[in-house]
Structure 1
Amino acid sequence: MIKKSLSAFILLICIFSCKKEAQKTSEGKIEKDTVSKIEEKEEDLFKPIDTVCTSKNKTEDYIAALQWYQQKTEKEIARNSPEQNDKLYEDYIKIRDKYTACLSESLSKVLVEYVNYYDSESDSYKFPENIKELSTQLKKGSLEFTEVGEGYTEIWSLPDHYFSLFKGKVTPDYNSYIEQLSKESEGLYSADAGLVISWKDLGERTIFWENFIKRYPKSSLVSRAKEMYSDYLYDYLFGMDNTPTHEHSDGTIYDENREEFNRIIKKYPNSNVAKKSKELMDLFDAKIPEEEIHKRINIEREY
């Protein structure tokens, strides 16, 4: 009898303990859920400033908006399909471009004076504290000051910003497109009416876009790819005002360009870039007038 009473007593204690533990767990879960909901509510309470530029907005307002949209986009990317992320990428770029334009407008005086901070003796920039602080703020929004030549400075997104967000989360054509733009944004393409990258790099870029068009003929990005391809091919064949591929007086192709054309012909013999390169050399070597060569090559720059 005593044994039975003792067993019953122990059982009651166990039941009471289990109920108490379950209550603690439940309370903990409720507390955690409540905190989570409060955090979400606080996040929802923040509303980014409008994309319409106004002098009332400060640099930190635009940066906060850029950060908010980035966090929002990251969450959407995680639950979207690749096709949905293609559309999200396009929308995200438009929003960032608008905020960047507003920032450029509000910091116009800084952009004009930026080049003056270059010190020729040390071949480096010497920025005052306010410019250093601005640079730090811009980086929080994945932006940076970029010199574009002829004394101009602009605000650009960091080269890898878009690809770091959308890598592997979009369709193959968009993934390839965004990755290539990321690479091409690592430095200036041209400045002061002259090419900045090497002729070889330009040749490889041109080949990339030719292959992109062939690989993704039905992509919604094809029209943009064709425009870039045409611009690059024109510059590759004829050069720019301050970096031509040939001597205008007698049509002699410069040695480095002839060497580059032959490299492309050998490496990509079946490409249109190789075909146009050979055609250009033959026409110049035949002393055909430059104006006529432009007509026969039939490539126009889009800008």
Structure 2
Amino acid sequence: MKAINLYSVFFLLLLIFSSGLLFSCGGTEQKEATESNETDSVAVEAEQVVETTNPSEEYQTFVSALDTTQMSSSKQAAEKFQELYASATPKQADEGFLIFDKLYNSLAYNLDEQHYKKSSESGEYDKYDQIAGIYNGYNDGKDASSEMMSYHNELANHGFGIGMVEGSTYILQNRDFLKGYFYDKVSEPMKEYLIQKNKEAKEIFASDGGLIISPTRLAERVIWAENFIKENPDFYPKLMKELKWSKKSYLTYLLEGMDNTPLFDYQTKEITQDFAEAYQTVTSSYSDTETAAIIKPYYEAIKNNNTDKQKELIEKYQDEDKIYKNEY
């Protein structure tokens, strides 16, 4: 057996000692590092909690304190939304929009009451005609006075405008206002809903007992609502209720026409070309929809001059709560 080199033994002992020392020091450093990491982790988690805390309670408090008779409240609420929901989730942003929407509706109602009173007291009904319909695209405002255009711009800057129905002007919601404040924050279903409601608000569907849009456009609204409801069954109850109401109203007019836009020509008693085209579009282009299933047998009964079947189907759809009774 070879003799063990004393230097080697010494080196081995030194290595073992050094390792123990390093282990001891390393353990202390590791413990400190772990504690430091844990502290940092807690700080990060706390920061994340702050970032994702739902701001809706604070927003509700802010909005509740605003004056629902002043148009400036809408812009204050919209700007506060952007501030509070900057890091919010889409679902949280949806909640915030619902809070805003309640204020927005109250403002529109109160501002219209003020508009009616002001117009009545001053007797200046006609001056608002100059800017009525700009939001809807029915008026380019070229003939409006500087005073009226200034008023229009002020309204638009706060989410409102002037509309007209049967010769009378009123305050309406200019929903273009919502684009810059809410579209990039809310969920995709909410954004789709807002885009559609803005489109429908601009394109007034009826006035003075008659359709303004074509029956085909009316049918497309029914189809859109049907598909949206089917794809988003858990959409917000308040808005879902409104969607179902409008879908039911549109379908009622699509099946029965209106006084000044009759389903059947008053002279020939035949279905008008516009309604026939709408029915053909639904049954061919949207054949897999519930709307098509409703329209198809009804249209067949019309083409066959089967008035008893037509009446039977209308009563059936009313009993099934698909359309309204005596809607107009």
Q: TM-score, normalised by structure 1?
A: 0.70
Render the CA deviation track for 1:148-194: whole Å, top value 9, x for unaligned.
x2112221222322244222422232122112112112231211111
CA distance in 1, matches of 2:218, 2:104: 28
CA distance in 2, matches of 1:100, 1:159: 11
The structure-2 alpha-carbon separation of the partners of 1:131 and 1:114, relative to structure 1 and needing over 3 Å to count, comes to: farther
The one-letter amino acid paired with 2:72 is A
Instruction: Say which SS state the counterpart of residue 107 (structure 1) adopts.
Output: helix
**Which residue of structure 2 aligns with residue 30 of structure 1?**
none
How much has 1:271 moved relative to structure 2?
A: 1.0
Confirm or deny that 1:287 pairs with 2:300: no
**Which residue of structure 2 aligns with residue 73 of structure 1?**
81
Select between 291-300 and 109-118 the one with higher mean Cα deviation. 109-118
How much has 1:294 moved relative to structure 2?
A: 2.1
The 8 Å contact of residues 212 and 225 in structure 1, kept in 2 or not, is answered as: no
Select between 191-200 and 93-102 the one with higher mean Cα deviation. 93-102
**Which residue of structure 1 aligns with residue 288 of structure 2?**
270
The one-letter amino acid paired with 2:307 is I
The 8 Å contact of residues 205 and 213 in structure 2, kept in 1 or not, is answered as: yes
Taking every aligned residue pair, what percent have the same amino acid on both sides?
25
Aligned mate of 1:214, from 220, 227, 230: 230
Confirm or deny that 1:297 pairs with 2:313: no
The structure-2 alpha-carbon separation of the partners of 1:142 and 1:251, relative to structure 1 and needing over 3 Å to count, comes to: same
Confirm or deny that 1:238 pairs with 2:248: no
Residues 155-166 of structure 1 mapped to structure 2, 5 A cutoff: 155-166=171-182
Aligned mate of 1:82, from 65, 75, 90: 90
How much has 1:111 moved relative to structure 2?
A: 5.0
Render the CA deviation track for 1:41-88: whole Å, top value 9, x for unaligned.
xxxxxx97532x5xxxxxxxx233222112111212322211111111
The one-letter amino acid paired with 2:162 is F
Instruction: Say which SS state the counterpart of residue 108 (structure 1) adopts.
Output: helix
Select between 263-272 and 219-228 the one with higher mean Cα deviation. 219-228
CA distance in 2, matches of 1:292, 1:194: 25
The structure-2 alpha-carbon separation of the partners of 1:253 and 1:226, relative to structure 1 and needing over 3 Å to count, comes to: same
**Which residue of structure 1 aligns with residue 150 of structure 2?**
133
CA distance in 1, matches of 2:290, 2:128: 45
Select between 284-293 and 69-78 the one with higher mean Cα deviation. 284-293
Select between 134-143 and 102-111 the one with higher mean Cα deviation. 102-111
Render the CA deviation track for 1:5-39: whole Å, top value 9, x for unaligned.
xxxxxxxxxxxxxxxxxxxxxxxxxxxxxxxxxxx
How much has 1:124 moved relative to structure 2?
A: 7.8
Query: What RMSD in Å do the two structures reach over aligned CA positions?
Result: 2.9
Residues 116-155 of structure 1 mapped to structure 2, 5 A cutoff: 126-147=143-164, 149-155=165-171
Instruction: Say which SS state the counterpart of residue 301 (structure 1) adopts.
Output: coil
The 8 Å contact of residues 117 and 125 in structure 1, kept in 2 or not, is answered as: no
**Which residue of structure 2 aligns with residue 97 of structure 1?**
105
The 8 Å contact of residues 86 and 174 in structure 1, kept in 2 or not, is answered as: yes
Residues 180-219 of structure 1 mapped to structure 2, 5 A cutoff: 180-219=196-235
The 8 Å contact of residues 111 and 152 in structure 1, kept in 2 or not, is answered as: no
The one-letter amino acid paired with 1:66 is S
For structure 1, the residue ranges without an aligned partner over 5 or more in a row are 1-46, 54-61
Aligned mate of 2:194, from 162, 169, 178: 178
CA distance in 2, matches of 1:127, 1:114: 14
Select between 177-186 and 283-292 the one with higher mean Cα deviation. 283-292
CA distance in 2, matches of 1:264, 1:82: 34
The one-letter amino acid paired with 2:233 is P
How much has 1:295 moved relative to structure 2?
A: 0.4
**Which residue of structure 1 aligns with residue 241 of structure 2?**
223
The one-letter amino acid paired with 1:74 is Q
The one-letter amino acid paired with 1:69 is A
CA distance in 2, matches of 1:217, 1:187: 26
- State the structure with more CA Rg: 2
The 8 Å contact of residues 48 and 68 in structure 1, kept in 2 or not, is answered as: no
The structure-2 alpha-carbon separation of the partners of 1:241 and 1:211, relative to structure 1 and needing over 3 Å to count, comes to: same
Instruction: Say which SS state the counterpart of residue 137 (structure 1) adopts.
Output: helix
How much has 1:222 moved relative to structure 2?
A: 3.2
The one-letter amino acid paired with 2:157 is K
Aligned residues: 244
CA distance in 2, matches of 1:172, 1:124: 34
